[in-house]
Amino acid sequence: MIDKIKVMFVCSGNGCRSRMAAGLARHIGGDRFEFYSAGLDTVEIDPRAAVVMAELGIDISGEKPEPVDPELMQRMDYVITLCEVAEEGCPGTPDSVARLYWPFPNPSEAEGTEAEIMGQFREIRDGIKLKLQEFLDGFPKNNG
């Protein structure tokens, strides 16, 4: 049995970006991977993040906020930070853990009408999905 590739997504609060990334990854990544999400601080999920993910048939509404666990990070193959705060504040990892930085603005801080804010959430979700697809396309297909 081949070990699964372990990937952790980290953002400032584990309320939007990292949860959307992990939800998308679980949905499209297949069984070759294990995906985790965490935040430097933990906040409840922004309900708008759950709504835009549900639009794609992905339910992240029941997930609990998870703080960064340095011991768990040590066991990852990849740690992907999704904002400057996470990139700068994320604990160090051994050389065996690949670190990637995919900066996305926090949609919870978007301003405007509700429709404009929801548009920002969708834009971030879709941007993460594109980066994630590029990342996953870099791995050989599982022909098992």
Alpha-carbon span 25 to 94, nearest angstrom: 23
Residue 108, SS3 per DSSP: helix
Alpha-carbon span 29 to 121, nearest angstrom: 21
With contact defined as beta carbons under 8 Å apart, do 16 and 45 qualify?
yes
Catalytic residues: 11, 83, 90
Structure token digits, residue 9 = 């997504």
Q: Which long-range contacts (CB under 8 A, 24 or more apart) does 89-92 make?
A: 89/12, 89/40, 90/10, 90/40
